[in-house]
Amino acid sequence: MKKDESLDNIRLDKWLWCARFYKTRALAASAIKGNKIRVNDLAVKAAKSIRIGDRVLIRKTPYQYSITILKLSKHRLSASQAALLYEEDAQSILAREELAKQIKADSASFPRTIGRPTKRNRREIIRFTRTNQNNDNSE
């Protein structure tokens, strides 16, 4: 096949790999099998042939992408060129940005731990839990 020939259709798992939604075709195929991908609001299989204009819903935890296919490619492209293969809905972009802000705000409220407690920290934890257990038993 020549480079200037355009494709009419391509396998869904291959297109997801080419568009850089997944690092490997196997990951794309397993996401499709796990019903994380829908084409035109239908559950599909990895071998489903997609065409230009198809609407694809991709759920990658925790985000959800709603895209329209603009171009087809047989080869994996650079990230900037891969972004030209599809167009994401404005509503989908806003929802992802809001979710990202919410996740960032939630993570700021959780205390950061350094890792495994030291011997001194463990002793403090043991003392604290023992005193709480003694107070609970005396009631």
4, part of any domain: no
- Which pLDDT score is estimated for 52? 95
Task: Give me the half-sphere count of Cα atoms (radius 13 Å) on the Cβ side of residue 113.
Answer: 5
Q: Could you give the C-alpha distances from 50 to 14, 85, 108, 122, in angstroms and in order? A: 10, 13, 41, 57
- Average pLDDT of the chain to the nearest whole number: 89
The torsion angles phi and psi of 20, rounded to 5 degrees, stand at 65, 30
40, part of any domain: yes
90, part of any domain: yes
Average pLDDT over residues 1-13: 73
118, part of any domain: no
45, part of any domain: yes
Q: Residue 48 — pLDDT band, cuts 50, 70, 90?
A: very high
Count up the domains in the chain and report the number: 1
138, part of any domain: no
Q: How many Å apart are CA 91 and CA 74, to the nearest integer?
A: 29
133, part of any domain: no
116, part of any domain: no
Q: Residue 111 — pLDDT band, cuts 50, 70, 90?
A: confident
Look up the CATH number of the domain holding residue 48. 3.10.290.10
Query: Which structural domain range is residue 44 located in?
Result: 10-111
Helix (H/G/I), strand (E/B), else coil: 108:
helix
Does 2 score more than 60 pLDDT? no
Q: Do residues 74 and 18 make contact, with C-beta atoms less than 8 angstroms apart?
A: yes
